[in-house]
Amino acid sequence: MTLLPQEVIRAKRDGEALDPADISGFIEGLTRGTVGEGQAAAFAMAVFFNGMSREEAVALTLAMRDSGDVLDWPDIDRPIIDKHSTGGVGDNVSLMLAPIVAACGAMVPMISGRGLGHTGGTLDKLDSIPGYITAPSSDLFRRTVKETGCAIIGQTGDLAPADKRLYAIRDVTATVESVPLITASILSKKLAAGLGALVLDVKCGNGSFMGDVEKGRELARSLVAVANGAGLRTSAVLTDMNEPLASAAGNAVEVDNAVRFLTGERQDPRLRKITLTLAANMLVSGGLAADVDAGFERASRVLDDGHAAEIFGKMVSVLGGPADFVDRCRDHLETAPLVVDIAAREDGWIAGYDTRRIGMAVVALGGGRTRPEDDVDHAVGLTGFLPVGTKVAKGEPLFQVHARSGDQVEMVRERLADALTISGDAVGTRPVIMETIAAEQAN
């Protein structure tokens, strides 16, 4: 690095383009501890306000990838594919998607993250499973992928450690929404996993970080362009996040929802549509399906015949969880002592959700973090959400609060009093799949 850390911050603060060597040096310092948390926070804020060029974003992504080990899979002859979501409320897709795609013949080494802001984190959900190791050794990670076809884990100390530090800092410094920082954070982990292809689920709507479709499209184009610029074949699917995706939001409650989905006991329609669409795109990108329709059909088959549920159960067991988790998940998951219905105050049709507020209510219950060091209460959350367009009667349950105390229930009741809109007129459903952005569309 030719510049001191504070000079890198100053240059970006003043809107200058950073040299790749200075970006690399700053990230190396962050990894080694010679760049402090305050400096990293200042850097993140400078990038938040002044952005980065495509070349800077590629350099940041590669520097974060190279801050630790970069895996390769020389002894595997199956496609190595993964997916990443930019985050939403009730977004437990990864838990079902990885075993579905593995059941179709791919390998899915999925490096996931913890909750950011109002969105839930896949690792926090998996921590609900007793014994499940979200930070395994590289040897256990590799063995799990080879034996089961997939492994959903977090960043170990050896994979993109610079991102792990910056990820936690962004969460508590209001810099989560920065497109270059999101891009580098997502892609550094994926590149470190040694993927052959990647499909991105970019959320748009009031429960997403990006908000409207144009902002979502901007992020999708950035991700696709930077990923392909870094040598990873990538496409993106824009999806709707104007209502909770699953009918549950929290940690253990979303794991329970995922197991019900995999076993066919309950499959929320929007959740099924997006899960199978992403699976289809992954199969196409890995050469396992001729087109999206064929991929959708193949993914549906392995879901409906129980093969995906079997793989999920085996993955949980190899990574330290209960061997009978799929069959007895409710016996293993911690539950909240209070489950209370929140009822409709009038007749009508569900017209919309303030989805971000729902996510923040889960955080307020203890199901998320306000500081990086905060513990997460895996038992609390919200369940029973009904899709937009559903007709309800006064007094009918709109959702349930899973809480530790009556005070928590009343807190949620107050916070979410206006987070769900009921209309006197019939309301239609909104499509969950908005558009797909291929590599050639990103530039």
| Residue 84 DSSP SS3 | strand
Q: Is 307 exposed, middle or buried (0-12, 13-18, 19+ CB in 10 A)?
A: middle
The sign of the torsion formed by the CA atoms of 53, 55, 58, 62 equals: negative
- Main-chain phi, psi angles of 240, to 5 degrees: -85, 130
- What are the distances in angstroms from CA 408 to CA 91, 378, 403? 23, 15, 6
The DSSP letter of residue 119 is B
- Main-chain phi, psi angles of 5, to 5 degrees: -55, -40
Catalytic residues: 82-85, 122, 170, 185, 189-190
Quote the tokens at residue 284.
Answer: 């196409």
For residue 400, give every residue at least 6 positions away whose Cβ sits within 8 Å of its Cβ, in sequence order, or none.
Answer: 339, 340, 341, 342, 382, 383, 384
**Nearest CA among 165, 159, 158 for reference residue 40:** 165
Which residues face 199 on adjacent strands?
83, 235
- Phi/psi zone of residue 313: left (φ > 0), alpha (ψ -120 to 50 degrees), beta? alpha
**Nearest CA among 313, 311, 303 for reference residue 132:** 313
- What are the distances in angstroms from CA 137 to CA 31, 142, 155, 183, 236? 19, 9, 10, 26, 30
For residue 394, give every residue at least 6 positions away whose Cβ sits within 8 Å of its Cβ, in sequence order, or none.
Answer: 343, 344, 345, 346, 347
Distance of CA 389 to the CA centre of its chain: 26
